[in-house]
Structure 1
Amino acid sequence: MIKLKWLAAPLMAICCTVANATNLPDFPFVLVKGEATSKVAPDMATITFELIAYEKEANKAMDVVNVRGVEVVTLLKKYDVKLSDIQSFALYKEIRRQRNKDYEEGKIIGYEVSQSFDITLRNLADYSEIMDQLIGMKNLNDVNISFDVSNRKQLVQALVKKAANDAKLKASDLASGLGAELGSVYAATQDSSYNNFFARFGVSESSYSGRIERMAVSGSILQSPGMNMFTPETIELNKSIHVVYKLK
């Protein structure tokens, strides 16, 4: 029995090696990444921020946040932002306590109340005026802005075709360099599950740890001496696909 136990580990290792090897295609192949980029003018923005107030009494802190929330909605309605594009979340309350030198909690010294907002702005002509007034509001914290295009789906579909052509060109060059002829497509992926796709072919996931699709703002948001905030001239849309081609 003791000898059998010692043999179990090597046998299991051999089985695992064989199992992993069978995940690889049993024919010559090349794995390539096709990429495509497009710079477009944004026509919408998503603005997220938090209203936060700290008071000794919880009711007072809640009142401050509620009043400021009404001011935000009133401002946005002034610029014809639809209520369906104004998303507010539940109020969050946190108790603040004194702490001694040993960081032990003591008596209550106040209450912090906050509420998050998510705004979709579909008319960028009013962006500068809206942001100037939002930024100037009291109790407004943690403002984040991202720009996008309303026809993103159509633009990404076009980028997929360009990325596919790029992948085929790279595969052809690689096959030619190897003295082989490019065959048909064996597999392809364009979604966020591509890490598992690579793992099936024995490629480390850590080597491909980025996101397939991302949107980066081309240039930072500018501010004039009057604190006016402007939209970027363009945003960049990227698309990547990974393709496995057979070699003849």
Structure 2
Amino acid sequence: MKIINIILLGCLLTATASGQAATLPDQPHISVSGNAKIHVKPDTVRIEFQAIAMENDADNAKQMVDQQVQQVLSQLQKSGFDQALLTRADVQLRPEYEYIEKKRTQVGIKATRNLSYQLDDVEKLNKLLQILVKNDISNIGQINYSLKEPLQWQIKARDMAVQDSISKAEGLANSYHSALGNVYSINYQTHNAQPILMRAMESDQVAPSYQNNQIEINERVETVFLLKP
């Protein structure tokens, strides 16, 4: 059994080495990784929240939730926000129970409506949060920062990663008293932009304040350069 294991391991190592060798040229070369990271201020943000009410019956619960939504819409319009940017899902109803004297007893009907608002001016986020809290929207969920045109920033970061790979390759070649030739291969996979959020909250605020948010874009490119004879 030990002999079989050794043979199998030897075959695996041989196959792995052969696969790696197939991706590299037979002539002198340099393999480098170019990296770039840029931080961009987001220009759009989506806020998810819920209107919730619990009443004795479903009709009253739904009515209370609808009133909350109408209050939010009215306040948005008064404050200069576009009502059309508010997305509203259907109202969800479910019974709520409590154990009273060890007996499961229905205590009401809970109505929930999921909502989200796409805000194109990030500077107005705190004002929007204030509106939601003042209108009894206490269940504020995810705040998703993004870019309206992320592709242009990804291209910029990618070009920086390419320049980084060239600089590294040229530096290595010079150190070994050689010179770069043509590019043999390029391996590139794009990465999604990730938000970096910083949250600040003052004692006299009724809603959290989100400031200094950035979108981090990372790009990496792996390149094999041939060396001139």
What TM-score results when the alignment is normalised by the length of structure 2?
Answer: 0.72
Alignment correspondent of 1:215: 195
TM-superposed deviation, 1:154: 2.3
Q: Distance in 2 between matches of 1:107 and 1:12?
A: 65
Aligned twin of 1:138: 136
Which residue does the alignment assign to 1:53?
53
The one-letter amino acid of 2:154's match is V
Letter in 1 for 2:135: M
Aligned to 1:93: 93
Aligned to 2:189: 190
| Distance in 2 (alpha carbons) for counterparts of 1:21 and 1:231 | 51
| Cα distance per residue 1:197-228 (max 9 Å; x no partner) | xxxxxxxxxxxxxxx531213x3245473547
Report the equivalent of 1:232: 211
How far 1:245 sits from its partner (Å)? 1.7
RMSD over aligned Cα atoms: 3.8
Query: Match for 2:150: what amino acid?
Result: R
Query: What's the CA shift string for 1:35-91, capped at 9, x where partnerless?
Result: 121343x44322111222233322222222111111122222334433442212222
Map of 1:120-135 to 2, 5 A cutoff? 120-124=118-122, 126-135=124-133
- Aligned residues: percent identity? 15
Q: Kindly indicate whether the alpha-carbon contact (under 8 Å) linking 2:48 and 2:143 is maintained by their aligned counterparts in 1.
A: yes
Q: How far 1:141 sits from its partner (Å)?
A: 0.1
Structure 2 CA distance for partners of 1:236 and 1:123, relative to 1, 3 Å: closer
For residue 140 of structure 1, what is the amino acid of its counterpart?
S
CA distance in 2, matches of 1:14, 1:55: 71
Change (3 A) 1:137 1:143: farther
Counterpart code for 2:62: M
The answer to whether the 8 Å contact 2:184/2:226 transfers is no
Letter paired with 2:193: E
Match of 1:196 in 2: none
- Following the alignment from structure 1 to structure 2, what is the Cα–Cα distance between the partners of residues 222 and 228? 8
Change (3 A) 1:36 1:124: closer
- For 1:36, give the aligned amino acid: K
Q: Which protein has the larger Cα radius of gyration, Structure 1 or Structure 2?
A: 2
**SS class of match (1:220):** strand
Task: Structure 1 unaligned segments of length 5 or more: list them.
Answer: 1-6, 193-211
- The DSSP-based 3-state class of the residue aligned with 1:90 is strand
3-state SS in 2 of match to 1:232: strand
Equivalent position amino acid for 2:127 in 1: E
**Which structure features the higher share of strand residues?**
2
Match of 1:199 in 2: none
Q: Distance in 2 between matches of 1:14 and 1:123?
A: 61
With structure 1 as the length reference, what TM-score do the two structures score?
Answer: 0.67
Give the structure 2 partner of residue 244 of structure 1.
223
Q: Which residue is 1:32 aligned to?
A: 33
Q: For the residues of structure 2 that align with 1:180 and 1:85, how far apart are their CA atoms?
A: 59
One-letter code of the match for 1:52? Answer: I
List runs of 5+ in structure 2 lacking aligned partners. Answer: none
